Amino acid sequence: MVQLFLSLALLLTLSGCVQEVKPWEKETLSKETMEPSGGNALARKFEEHIYFSKEASKGGGGVAGGGCGCN
């Protein structure tokens, strides 16, 4: 599985769709507004709750971590 994703990552990098982001170029990626919760995790929790209780679907709502590697 890891190999599959690594191959995918390599392919994306080589194809030019993806540019290598250097560690010192991650200012924008580390912004709160880039997080799925937009910086308000509790608000996001409430929203998910309401949808979960009013609709017949669930799952996929929460995954840890944002789109950055700044820590």
Residues forming contacts to other proteins in the complex (CB under 8 A) are: 1-3, 5-10, 12-13, 17-71
Which token pair is 54? Answer: 């009013």
C-alpha separations of 69 from 19, 24, 30 in Å: 15, 10, 8
